[in-house]
Structure 1
Amino acid sequence: MSPEPLAPTELDAVLVLSFGGPEGPEQVMPFLENVTRGRGVPRERLVEVAEHYLHFGGVSPINGINRALIERLRGRVDLPVYFGNRNWEPYVEDTVAAMRDDGVRRAAVFATSAWGGYSGCVQYNEDIARARRAAGAAAPELIKLRQYYDHPLFVRMFADAVTAAAATVPAGARLVFTAHSIPQRARSRCGEDLYARQVAHACRLVAAAAGYDDYDQVWQSRSGPPQVPWLEPDVADHLAALTDSGTTAVVVCPIGFVADHIEVVWDLDHELREQAERAGIAFARAATPNADLAEVAADLIDELRAGRSPARVPAANQPPLQGFSVNGGLCTTACG
C-alpha cells in the first residue's frame, strides 16, 4: 500500500491539468494529430473522428468547462489557479514556465481524471515531468493530487445525477454505467487491472448512493484496429442486448468521464440516444460533474495543505482500493 501525506504541505498555487480540445474548426485536425502523434493512427480514422467535433462547430466542450471549473475553484481557495493542457492551448509547458516566472515554488496539480492507470494517471505525471524539464532548474515543485474516484463529493455528484436522470424516464429504467474502454493488453500496465477495478468500485458506490442494487457496467469509445481486443461489452452492443431482452427504458451514467468530453456528447448524447430512439427505448443520460468538480478539487487541496486523511466512501464489506500515492507528483507504483 502506498503512503498518504501526513504533514501539512505549503502551497503557492494550483495547476488544473487537462487533456485539451479544439475551439474552432481549423484546430480540429491539428489537435487530433497532437493526440495521436507516434501511434500510427491512419489519416482516415482522424478524418472520421474530426467529423464528431465538426458536428459541434469544431469546438470541444472541455476547455470551456475547465475555465468555469477554474473560476469556481478560485472562489474556494486562497491561491492563484493556473490552467494547462496536454494536447492543446494553453499547453502545460507554457503554463509551468509562466508559473516559474511568477515566482511559484510549489503547486498542487489537479488532473481532470479521477482514475489510476496509464492514461488516467501516469500520462499526467509524464506531462508534469515534461513541463518541469522544459521550465528548467527554477521550475516549481508540482504535486499531483490523489485519485478521487471514491471521494464522497464525487460519488454524491454522480448519484444525484443518476436520480435526476431517472426522474425523466419511466420507472424501472435499467441503470447502465459506462467508461472509456482501453485495450486488453493495457490492463497489465498498472498492477492488477487498477483502472478497471476502480471503475467497478465507483459504480458500486454510486449505485448504492442512488438506491440501486442492480445495474450494468460497460465500456465505450474504443478505437484502433478491430483485431485488437478492448474491454467489453461495448455500450452500443449492450443497448442492443437490452433491446432484445425487452428493456423499455435506460439511464446511462458516464461514470468514467468527469466532464462532457466529446465522447459523452457524441457517443452517448448523439449516437446512443439515436440507437435508443430507433429501438423505442426511453433514454436518459446522467450529467457529469463538469464545473462542479471544483468542489472535489478544493477538498483535495485542503487535504494536502492540512495533512488530513483522505476522504473516501467505503463500499460495504470491501476496503477502499489503493492506487498511487502523492509523492512529489510522481506515481510510486510501477506503470507504463
Structure 2
Amino acid sequence: MSREKLLEVKNLKTHFNTENGRVTAVDDVSFHVDKGEILGIVGESGCGKSVTSQSILRLFDEKYLVKYEGEVLFKGDIDLLKLSKSEMRHARGNEISMIFQDPLSSLNPVLTIGFQIAEALMLHEKITKEAAFEQAIEMLKLTGIPSPEKRVHDYPHQLSGGMRQRVMIAMSLACKPRLLIADEPTTALDVTIQSQILDLIEDINKRFDMGVIFITHDLGVVAGLCDRVVVMYLGQIVEEADILNLFENPMHPYTKGLIKSIPHMDGDRKEELHVISGTVPSLENVPVGCRFAERCQFADELCQSKMPDLRVVGEGQKVRCWHAEKIAEQEEAPVYVTS
C-alpha cells in the first residue's frame, strides 16, 4: 500500500562560502519521506547528514554563508527553499521540528524548560501563557518525564542528559508537526537511556502518524527503528534501500564496510573488528571520480576517473557504484539480523 509523500527532496545542493572558496557540502541529493515512515540517514562524520537536515529547514545564513539549489517539496507543492523568511519561521517548529544532537547546548540555560516549550506554543498557536504551560506539562508527561508539574519549573542544568533529550522531544512535538527530524539524538547517552529514547521516537511516530528523518552513524540503531535507509558519503547518496534489502543485500562497498564494522554479541572476541581504511576526504579536495574510490578495494581506472550515477538496481534499491552487481556476486552479504 502506497503512503502519502510528505517530503520530497530533489537535487538539493548546499554551497558554503569559505576562506578558500566555495565548497559543496550536499551535492545533488534526492530522497523522499512518506507520512508515518521513519527514514534513516547514515554515514560517517563529515558525510553531510546533518547539513542535509539543516538545509531542509534553511538554518544557515543565506545572506553571507550559504546558497541552496534544488527543491524541497513539503506536502506535495510547498517548496521550502522558495518560502519567505517569515513563512519559513512559521514552518519551523509548527510543521517541521528538529531534535538536535546536544540538548544542553540547544536549551537556553537561563530559562525554565516549561517556558521554552510554552514559548513555541504561544508563538505558533497564539494561545495564552497559562494554556501554553498546561500543554507543556502534557508534553512532558507524554515523553515520560516524572512529576511534570514540578519539572516544568526546572532549568536545563537540573536535569540529566536523558531528561534533557526528552525535553527536546517534548519541545519538538509541542505544535504537533507533520515531520520530525532527529539529528543523532542518542549520541551522548548511555545504552539504557538510548533505548528509551528510541522507543519513545518509535511510539510517537506510530501515535501521531508523522514522518521521521532519523540521522545517525549507528547502523545497529537503524536496523531496529527505520523503514528505509539512505547511506551518504562525502555529500552524496551512495545507496538507498528498504531496511531488509540494505542488510540482506548491500550493494555499495561503503555500505558493506559499515555493516561489517558492527560488533556481534556472538562474535569471536579475539578477532579484530572490521575497519574501513582511510578517512573521508576534505570537501576542498573532492575526488574527480567515485568519491569512495580512494578507500575502495574494488576501485579501478573507471572509478578513479568518472563519477557513477545513482541508479536503480532492484525494487526500492538504488546504488552509486560502477561495479555493484559484480561485487555482490564476489562477496557474500554480511549477516545481520534485524529485530
Same fold (TM over 0.5): no
Higher relative contact order (CA 8 A, sep 6+): 1
TM bin, normalised by shorter chain, reads under 0.3
TM-score after normalising by structure 1:
0.23
Q: Which has the larger share of strand?
A: 2
Give the greater-gyration-radius structure (CA).
2
